[in-house]
Structure 1
Amino acid sequence: MTTTSPLSPPSAPTAPPQPGPAVRRLVTAQGLAVLGTTVDLTLTGVVGAHLAPSRVLATVPFSLIPLAAAASTFAWSRLVGRAGYRRAFGVAPAFAVVAGLVCALAVQLDQFWLFCVGTAFVGVYQAGTGYYRFAAAESWPDARARAVSTVLAGGLVAALVGPFLATALTHATPTPYVASYLLVAAAGLAALAWNAFLPRSLAVLGRTDGVAAATVVSAADQAHQADQSDPADDGVRSRAVLWRQPVLLGGVAAAALAAFAMMSMMTAGPLAGTDLGHSEGQAALAVQLHMVGMYAPGFVVARWIGRFGERRVALLGTAVIVVAGAAALVSPSLPAFVVAMAAVGVGWNLAFSGGSAMVAASYGPAERGRVQPVSEVLTTAAQVAGALSAGALATASGWPALGGGVAVASLAVGVALAWSGRGQRRSRDIRRSAST
């Protein structure tokens, strides 16, 4: 046993770990991705209503974003597995450039089908950038939750600036909205330049050809994997074993709920807001507060996760989403509309951050291909369901029904998260009793 001399100076408190270069660079990459996304969140529903031959089709362009993301998720996962995160992230912004140019051309030519093609390219880009948080978690394995929330927080400045730029550029060209979509292309070009200089460590992370075996895994991760692994599979668990984990199922459920709630209310919000009697400026303010709510909690959510755990933060997110849905359900007033839009943004951050951290904690480096793409497809499918449901409810009469549906879905996921946490505690108690 070591002793400390009374004359020895007290040891200095351990400084909290700082993010590595990969996480810091991914923060800016996330901000550039969100900058382009805010244009679509702010304007695509409105532009779709102008271009569509029928109002029923107004949200189809927005719905194609998550649909294309779901369709391309496995392709991105395969590219990451073969070439590493750095190569995949170097390619992804090219789709934003194409998307912005095609959408701008579609608006100029008044072609609805071409606009749909452009928004589909946005979805492919979003699927690629969705792996930013996984790359951050793997590059900082001892602080996965902080890595995820730090990267997500990188979108805050873009969330503040994006909606204003999108609306400010509306009439910058003779044909309205053309300049706004050129902004998407410009953000993609900036991301191409930025991602070309991502750290070389990201070229190794993600690869499944054996090179990634050099990735450093924390002692806690090794113990967890050893406890859960199948001895017949050299420590790599089967999909059946992986997908029976409560932490993985709960994490995916929380992330999927966040995606569904955010996409449905964000898609319907701008159109429903004007139908409720609010001005376009008021609707834009609600969108801005929504975007701030999506990314501002990133500065504190990592500390909350460290103190309370991923599951409890995800559970808090579901509760905030219930508030958002209830606000839309009970009143068409401007304060209720703003609360609904802002609260669903905050709830998205908490549920998505907590859920993503739960997912990242459920697999080892060699198992990512059995978890990441499936998790992303399920989350993106929830986005598709949210966007499609919003298409039918993007009116003043449909807004309360949408809010009620979001509240009910969030309650269901919250109950499931609470129940799974109770089951995990019971399992730990049983193991402790058996060991003693």
Structure 2
Amino acid sequence: MIRASRDMWLLAVGQALSGTVVSLLTAVSSLSGAMLAPYQGLSTVPVSATVCGTLLMIYPASVIMGRLGRRIGFFLKAVIGIAGGLVSAVALVLQSFSILVVGTFLLGAFSAFSQYYRFAAIDAVKSADERTRAVAMITGAGIVGGILGPYLASHFDRAFQTPFVGSFIALTVVCIAIAISQIFLSADLGRDSATPSTSSPPALRFKPSSDFAAASIICAIGFAAMTLTMNAAPLALARDPRCGGSTTPILQAHFIAMYLPSLFNATLVRAAGLRGLVAGGLVALLLMALSAQLFEATPSLYFIQLTLSGLGWNFVFNGGTLMVASTYSNDHKTKAQGINSLIVYGANVFASLAAGILVAQYGWQAVNLACFPMILAGALFLFRMPRAKNA
């Protein structure tokens, strides 16, 4: 229990610092892209490169951590993040859009490993009953990153003559802190057993069930709807003269809404079950999308919408993660977690690419309109999940 407790705290630190990197990158990536892009519709290509880097690394990251453990995986992640931050800073100094895309691609590979903190939390507990609290604790640690990331982005964006160079340098320093903290994790945390149990077939024979597929798609929908609005928001806010170009308070509200509710998820699951938690998230996303169609965009409305986007992500993604965890055995962990993350980030690639195009061509209202079919699909897949997953 002592070692598990230590690992949980270290995972929480890693999640908080990783969330700082992600939120900082969200605050400056599309704006950096807009500064260097040959065409404004390509402003979110650096963001999309991040998602593509995540997509390509997401399954290998699961395999690496299955073989070598979470400690080596998260340390390697930090090294990749350091490289990505430095390359991105150099790109801005050289005014090179293509080098910026390379840097943000590396930061995507960094993010791939970060997606496994939720599963690492499950590894660190001893029983299925503790899973909800473990995931809530680790996800809740992201509150720190949600506040600190946008602050660092805005505080250091003019630290050097070239805008945003200081932000990427700050990102690099945070990655160094991640490397230092994660090296103290237990060496065997998350590492696959040398001999699979006789009660289930080898991991290589894992065949995803329909419940696994449905729960994974629910995770993907929650993440994609959030990604679409989160990546589009800085561009939409920068284009709106009523907002004065300031995105920091709105993004901070978004990230707080993403992570703060995790502290109460265990209570919510006991009261309404996992299906109820996911349904609540879909309702939050629906209110966000509807408000954009019914009301004129104002700073206050952006604030409310991005808060709803974060809340929707928290309930849908965390509920979906716990649903996924109940659909595979420990022998199948590496492959199941890799496939789940691959599905999530496959959807995110399209959402990220669509964000820049929709904002540039049609505006913020169209971004929210695109969320409606995703919300409907999420409701349909949730409806078909068996009530046994509601516990």
Normalising by structure 2, what TM-score?
Answer: 0.92
- Tell me if 1:68 matches 2:46: no
What's the offset of the Cα at 1:94? 0.5
Given that residues 19 and 147 in structure 1 are in contact (C-alpha distance below 8 angstroms), is that contact kept between their aligned partners in structure 2?
Answer: no
Q: What does residue range 10-409 of structure 1 map to in structure 2 within 5 Å? A: 20-140=5-125, 141-142=127-128, 143-202=130-189, 205-210=190-195, 233=201, 238-240=205-207, 242-244=208-210, 246=211, 248-280=212-244, 282-331=246-295, 332-395=297-360, 397-409=362-374
- Mark the runs of 5 or more structure 2 residues left unpaired by the alignment: none
| 1:297-325 deviation per Cα after TM superposition (whole angstroms, max 9, x unaligned) | 11111221233222221121111111112
C-alpha separation in 1, matches of 2:164 and 2:213: 41
C-alpha separation in 1, matches of 2:241 and 2:362: 12
What's the offset of the Cα at 1:327? 2.0
What's the offset of the Cα at 1:239? 3.4
Given that residues 47 and 352 in structure 2 are in contact (C-alpha distance below 8 angstroms), is that contact kept between their aligned partners in structure 1?
Answer: yes
Given that residues 145 and 310 in structure 1 are in contact (C-alpha distance below 8 angstroms), is that contact kept between their aligned partners in structure 2?
Answer: no
In the superposition, relative to structure 1, how do residues 76 and 423 fare at CA in structure 2: closer, same or farther (>3 Å)? closer
C-alpha separation in 1, matches of 2:333 and 2:322: 14
In the superposition, relative to structure 1, how do residues 42 and 278 fare at CA in structure 2: closer, same or farther (>3 Å)? farther
Which residue type is aligned with residue 171 of structure 1? R
Given that residues 147 and 252 in structure 2 are in contact (C-alpha distance below 8 angstroms), is that contact kept between their aligned partners in structure 1?
Answer: yes
State the secondary structure of the residue aligned to 1:207. coil
Given that residues 96 and 122 in structure 1 are in contact (C-alpha distance below 8 angstroms), is that contact kept between their aligned partners in structure 2?
Answer: yes
Give the aligned CA root-mean-square deviation in angstroms: 2.4
What's the offset of the Cα at 1:130? 0.9
What's the offset of the Cα at 1:194? 0.5
What's the offset of the Cα at 1:397? 3.3
In the superposition, relative to structure 1, how do residues 100 and 173 fare at CA in structure 2: closer, same or farther (>3 Å)? same
In the superposition, relative to structure 1, how do residues 421 and 276 fare at CA in structure 2: closer, same or farther (>3 Å)? farther
| 1:162-194 deviation per Cα after TM superposition (whole angstroms, max 9, x unaligned) | 212211111111222111000110000000000
In the superposition, relative to structure 1, how do residues 82 and 200 fare at CA in structure 2: closer, same or farther (>3 Å)? closer
What's the offset of the Cα at 1:55? 0.7
C-alpha separation in 2, matches of 1:280 and 1:288: 16
What's the offset of the Cα at 1:356? 0.7
State the secondary structure of the residue aligned to 1:114. helix
State the secondary structure of the residue aligned to 1:171. coil
C-alpha separation in 2, matches of 1:243 and 1:50: 46
C-alpha separation in 1, matches of 2:55 and 2:11: 22
Given that residues 85 and 206 in structure 1 are in contact (C-alpha distance below 8 angstroms), is that contact kept between their aligned partners in structure 2?
Answer: yes
State the secondary structure of the residue aligned to 1:371. helix
State the secondary structure of the residue aligned to 2:242. coil
Residue in 1 aligned with 2:380?
415
Bigger drift between 43-52 and 334-343 goes to 334-343
Which residue type is aligned with residue 144 of structure 1? R
C-alpha separation in 1, matches of 2:205 and 2:114: 27
Q: In the comparison of the two structures, how many residue pairs are matched?
A: 387
Residue in 2 aligned with 1:432?
none
Which residue type is aligned with residue 225 of structure 2? A
C-alpha separation in 1, matches of 2:21 and 2:364: 26
Identity of aligned residues (%): 26
State the secondary structure of the residue aligned to 2:158. coil
Given that residues 63 and 335 in structure 2 are in contact (C-alpha distance below 8 angstroms), is that contact kept between their aligned partners in structure 1?
Answer: no
Which residue type is aligned with residue 264 of structure 1? L
Given that residues 224 and 348 in structure 2 are in contact (C-alpha distance below 8 angstroms), is that contact kept between their aligned partners in structure 1?
Answer: yes
